[in-house]
Amino acid sequence: MVILYIDMDYFFAACEQLKNPELKGKVVVIGTNKEDNKMKGVVQTANYEARKYGIKSGIPTKDAYKLYKDLVYLEADEPYYEKTSKTIMDMLKGYGFPVEQESIDEAALDLGDVGYEKGIGIGKEIKKRINNETNLPCTVGISFGKTFAKMACESSKPDGFGIVTENEITDFLKTKPVKALPGIGPKTEEKLKILRINTIGDLSDSDPLLLKEKLGIVGIELYNLSNGIDKSKVVEFEEVLSIGRERTLNEETTDVTVIKNMISELSKEVFEESAKKNFWFKDVGIKVRYADFTQATKSKTLNHYSSSEEEIERIGAVLIKELMNKNNKKIRKVGVRISSLMKGNSQKRLIV
Ligand code: DCP
Ligand code: CA
């Protein structure tokens, strides 16, 4: 089996540099907040010039300024990045192989049993086409499993092309730190450190039963990966339009606290499902059914994609208050739904 993994380089920042070529060579940071409120936001990505100063995804924007005071700050223009992402994903789907979109700027292609030689040819052509048709840089990884293809890609960034075959996998893995395995977050890293497991080589020499005891089933998956066994598959993504949950209350009520508690319970369930499926959302809606069987709905569209449980709950609470202020009818059923979904960033879905 040959898997291709494609990941765009410094994606949001590269899109901005395409829009405004004068940004090239400068230290560019893309953040969540508008210019006038930027010190309260976080960095979504930074170009490689900025990364030299330690600026990276997830750090507060004010810290980025401490690392490099003359940086160029831009608020994320997500509709533009989504359009670019769609162009790339459509191009990839055009090859006729199964495609799994992993995030806004990453995808895996299952080339089946074409062999490495042909796989490399297809990979190089795809890289060239992305560069020609979008003018954006990307990195391609090739291996015999999805996780290893992603790692081959990651270790060849930026603007690279990495191949790791069955014969090369042991050497490729053994000296890397455990956190190079997709799925290992800071908490797992810490647990492994206590067991004196620092490199993937250490992991492959460890006791799988001990790993299972400390990390659960994930421990076995990590043990397999560290030994060059990659069972991850390319799964084509079927379209999911929304995720919702509704529930009938124990008794009909106008009690705000009872309703709010139900909203927060449903928000948690909706969030958990979205996290499991790696979706971010832009719309949050609620529905109530009254004792007289009439119903009302209310929703809010965010100006960004979110993956926050707190955000679903907070918006749900605001919307229900608005509905309850309108009339004082008894409520018998409540629902919470998120829609306008997008595959989230895979790095954010860490196994902790
Ligand atoms: N992103 C975000 N918040 C994060 C991480 C990423 O909004 N915490 C966005 C901005 C990125 C895009 O997702 O441009 C893709 O994420 P990647 O992790 O693939 O990072 P980049 O493409 O920016 O850089 P790299 O070249 O390392 O892939
Ligand atoms: Ca990327």
Q: Where are the beta strands (DSSP E) in the chain?
A: 3-8, 28-31, 43-46, 72-75, 99-103, 106-110, 138-143, 161-163, 242-253, 279-290, 295-306, 331-343
Ligand nearest to the CA of 159: 1
Q: Are residues 256 and 346 part of one domain?
A: yes
Give the separation between CA 314 and CA 268, rounded to whole angstroms: 11
Domain that holds residue 101: 3-10+87-163
- Residue 95 burial (10 A CB sphere; 0-12, 13-18, 19+): middle
CA–centroid distance, residue 127 to ligand 2 (Å)? 14
Residue 33, domain CATH: 3.40.1170.60
pLDDT in tens, 296-308: 889 999 988 899 9
What's residue 103's pLDDT?
83
Cβ 281 under 6 angstroms from ligand 1: no
pLDDT in tens, 208-257: 999 999 998 889 999 999 999 998 888 775 556 789 998 888 888 999 99
**Residue-averaged pLDDT of the chain:** 92
Given a cut of 70, whether residue 148 has pLDDT beyond it is: yes
pLDDT in tens, 151-181: 999 999 999 999 999 999 999 999 999 999 9
Tell which of 50, 78, 106 closes a domain. 78
309-326 helix and 256-276 helix, angle to the nearest 10 degrees: 150
Residue 97, domain CATH: 3.30.70.270
Q: Are residues 29 and 91 part of one domain?
A: no
Residue 218, domain CATH: 1.10.150.20
Tell which of 31, 51, 78 closes a domain. 78
Residue 231 lies in a domain: no
Q: Are residues 277 and 218 part of one domain?
A: no
Catalytic residue status for 75 = no
Cα–Cα nearest to 244, from 267, 215, 217: 267
Give the separation between CA 314 and CA 302, rounded to whole angstroms: 12
Q: Are residues 190 and 102 part of one domain?
A: no
pLDDT in tens, 187-199: 899 999 999 999 9
Q: Are residues 198 and 255 part of one domain?
A: no
Cβ 45 under 6 angstroms from ligand 1: yes
Which of 33, 45, 156, 305 to mutate to test ligand 1, by most ligand atoms within 8 A of the CB atom? 45
Given a cut of 90, whether residue 326 has pLDDT beyond it is: no
Q: How many domains does the chain have?
A: 4
Cα–Cα nearest to 57, from 296, 286, 347: 347
Angle, alpha carbons 225-8-343 (nearest 5°) = 70
116-134 helix and 78-93 helix, angle to the nearest 10 degrees: 140
Sequence letter at residue 261: N
Given a cut of 80, whether residue 345 has pLDDT beyond it is: no
Q: Are residues 309 and 249 part of one domain?
A: yes
Give the separation between CA 184 and CA 95, rounded to whole angstroms: 32
Give 102's pLDDT tier (boundaries 50, 70, 90).
Answer: confident
Residue 308 lies in a domain: yes
